[in-house]
Amino acid sequence: MTFRPSRIAFKQALASERPLIGMWQALADPYTAEICAHCGFDWLLFDGEHSPNSLYSLLAQAQAVSAFPLEPIARVPARDPVAIKQYLDMGFHTILVPMVEDAAEAEELVRAMRYAPHGFRGVSSATARAAAFGRNVDYLHQANEMVTLIVQIESAKGLDNIETIAAVEGVDALFVGPADLSASLGYLGQPLHPEVGKAVAHAKSVIDAAGKPAGVFSVSPENARQRIAEGFKFVSVGTDIGFLMERASAVLEEVRGPA
């Protein structure tokens, strides 16, 4: 029997009119990933940069959400072609790369996502979960179109170079990270500072002009609704750690009273 993938590339989903709502997975646990998948998010981001994830914990989380109609996105720890190759092989088709600061870096990432002659991704489809361990005999010829590359703009340098980054063919979407961006602009811990807001708006306008989808991390439901109204195509509404901490603290305060 020939394996036939039923998924569409996330870049195609981003082209729809409906904004795609997701959340960060930072607990590095398949059980919580499955719980969050039941909530109905369009995508979940599995974080290899700021979370205690290993390749095995990422694999377990990808397996835990595989039955759900959502896109599992993986953020690699850094601009590392080896990590990108490993994440793609284990079945993540959409990769978010942090701290992309110029077009040369973006071009290198595009090539890292693709097999030759369009890139230099290593070939190992017979042992790759992404290729159904060799059952998808067409995978090598489909993969370059199936993958989605999202680059993260989160520094003053990246903001300065965003026009040339957005123009790189093969960069499918750009994601604005207000937390690191606020620090880079001199407003550490103030992602809602007016100057940071201006920077985010500028980034959005440049991404729009390039004809590519823009994503952003929001800090509250109100902020998320604002970002959607502004036209961001994919929006994170928080993290699993944040939701657990906020709800647990709120329930404790309801029972015990304010500290």
Q: Is 50 a catalytic residue?
A: yes
- Chain-centroid distance of CA 193 in Å reads 24
Beta bridge partners of 176: 153, 216
Q: Which two tokens stand for residue 155?
A: 């520094």
Of residues 50, 93, 118, 141, which has the active-site annotation?
50
Dihedral angle computed from the Cα positions of residues 52, 146, 42 and 82, in that order, rounded to the nearest 10 degrees: 10
For 105, 115, 153, 166, 204, the CA distances from 161, given in Å and listed in that order, are 11, 27, 9, 9, 13
For 107-131, b/e burial (b = at least 16 CB within 10 A) is bbbbebbbbeeebebeeebeebebb
User: CA 134 to CA 24: how far, in whole Å?
Assistant: 31
User: CA 221 to CA 216: how far, in whole Å?
Assistant: 13
User: CA 140 to CA 132: how far, in whole Å?
Assistant: 12
Q: How many residues does the chain have?
A: 259
Which of 23, 39, 30, 80 lies closest to 58, judged by CA?
30
Exposed/middle/buried for residue 77 (C-beta within 10 Å: 0-12, 13-18, 19+): middle
- Catalytic residue list: 50
